[in-house]
Amino acid sequence: MSRIIVYPGTFDPITNGHIDLIKRALKLFDKVIVAVGVHPGKSPLFDFDERVDMIRQTIGTMEGVEVEAFDGLLVDFARRHGANAILRGLRAVSDFEYELQRAIMNRKLDRNIETVFLMTGFRWIFVSSTIVKEAAQFGGSLEGLVPPLVEKKMKERYQQLRAKKG
């Protein structure tokens, strides 16, 4: 029986912190499914297809990793893909409170799917998609925070947005 874990998120954009968690999860599981989802409370910089495409181009060749788009209940997605666990990264204590609530709800929805928490590597503890977007919006360097392809796409997107305003 394969050990499969689903790593859900909006990944707007994917960061090197996300990639670090994927690589570490591969040491514990046979397969990591990066599940790119829609979050109704967020206004993404990149649309759904762009995010999936960037992730596939960035990590799609990693052995044991699949990238899938999803909408709906995470536990339903996990069940359909034969996953027995959900991966969540924690940077700080404040993340835990939010993630604990989600884990309890997922457990209520399906008792056969566990939530696995991995602490973000110390090098990435301050990195979030939101912080990366804020830095990029004002022309800050993203070197070492996101894959080069993502940095390029973010610079292009913010140039397009500035041109629309200007």
Q: What residues act catalytically? A: 18, 42, 91, 129
Distance CA 87, CA 33 (A): 10
Nearest residue to 52 (alpha-carbon basis) of 75, 69, 32, 33: 69
* Residue 117 bridge partners (DSSP): 88
Nearest residue to 61 (alpha-carbon basis) of 149, 154, 2: 149
Tell me the H-state helices in 60-128: 74-80, 93-109
**Radius of gyration for the alpha carbons in the chain, expressed in angstroms and rounded:** 16
Q: For residue 90, give the amino acid letter.
A: L
* Residue 22 bridge partners (DSSP): none
